[in-house]
Amino acid sequence: MVESVVRPAEERSGMTGSGQRRSRSAMAQQFGAVGLDLVDPALEESVRSVLVSVEAELRTSVVSADPFVTEAARHLLDAGGKRFRPLLVALGAQFGDPASARVVPAAVVMELTHLATLYHDDVMDEADVRRGTPSANSRWTNSVAILVGDYLFARAADLAADLGTEAVRLQARTFARLVHGQIAETIGPREGEDPVGHYLGVIAEKTGSLIATSARFGGMFGGASPAHVEALAGYGETIGVAFQLSDDLLDIASESVQSGKTPGTDLREGVPTLPVLYALGADDADAASVRLREILAAGPVTDEALHAEALGLLRESPALKRARETVRSYAEEAREQLRPLPDGGPRRALESLCDFIADRTS
């Protein structure tokens, strides 16, 4: 693993000449997709080099002696993705030595863990499509999807073992939080529990935890100071929650497929996202709010006319405005958690994610 890390990224991935240019173009789109602004060319090259190496290592790490397992494990990997977690590892490492031989393996551990959760999520959600391709469970079976997810978790743990005991412990604890979040989401709020607080807790466990560990791993394995590592972890969890909440808003507010899915999909599927929870918990007596609560309380809004009506009401509701304020508060909290970090290109890049989240839902 170490030998493959220290070789030049383009050599390891087979990218030379025009392949390198295509890689840079793809990376630029990738950075733009998450709102990352890398104004420093040296910083951009450093981050890009890590991510190119990660991509090559991911493909190597899922290979199995069984060709079918390899094919199934590469299914979602080949479908692409933002690689947001490896990106956070790469940025966190900038506060130490991003060329450290353990940075790329740490990023691979995080992405494999994330991919494993996607296989399991698709089974839980009975999803037919993931990243524009048939989900593993629809292409094969639920059992195969679950087992492939387990295989990816095992591969992540195997790689984490090469990074040391602390890496294994952190990955295991992150996995435990992911499972707790999934269980909490599955059973729903307990009697007397605040639905909004429950929902925010689920997001912190299911989404924020892995992004927090990604930022932590970047700092740890780049050799950043303990104080900087803790700041990165706090930032990671908060920015992860903010991203998920902003996706909730885009599902309602966007007139396009900016959110990566048809607007109103969560509403149609009965997913209680933050704006919906705020609307259901409101006591506004105006006719629009009362009508909106009436529609939402009935569960999934599958009737086309009702769906259009509910979407229109939500877009004009105080609930959506309140949800926007919540997203902005998380983005500002994430920015505040960066204060212990030294000023410079890496910190400004992380701050640009806060700006992006605040702006994309305004």
Q: Which residue has the higher pLDDT, 82 or 207?
A: 207
Q: Model confidence over 59-78: pLDDT tens digits?
A: 999 888 888 888 888 887 77
Does an H or E element contain 105, and which? helix 103-125
Fold of 1-8+38-224: Farnesyl Diphosphate Synthase (1.10.600)
Q: Model confidence over 8-38: pLDDT tens digits?
A: 344 434 444 434 444 555 665 666 667 777 7
CA distances from 102 to 54, 221, 294 (A): 11, 6, 54
Alpha-carbon gap, residue 111 to 86, rounded angstroms: 6
Domain with CATH 1.10.600.10 in the chain: 1-8+38-224, 227-357
Alpha-carbon gap, residue 236 to 215, rounded angstroms: 6
CATH tag for 227-357 (out of 1.10.600.10, 3.40.50.300, 3.60.10.10, 1.20.1630.10): 1.10.600.10
pTM of the model: 0.86
Q: Model confidence over 265-281: pLDDT tens digits?
A: 888 888 889 999 999 99
* 3 state SS of 264: coil
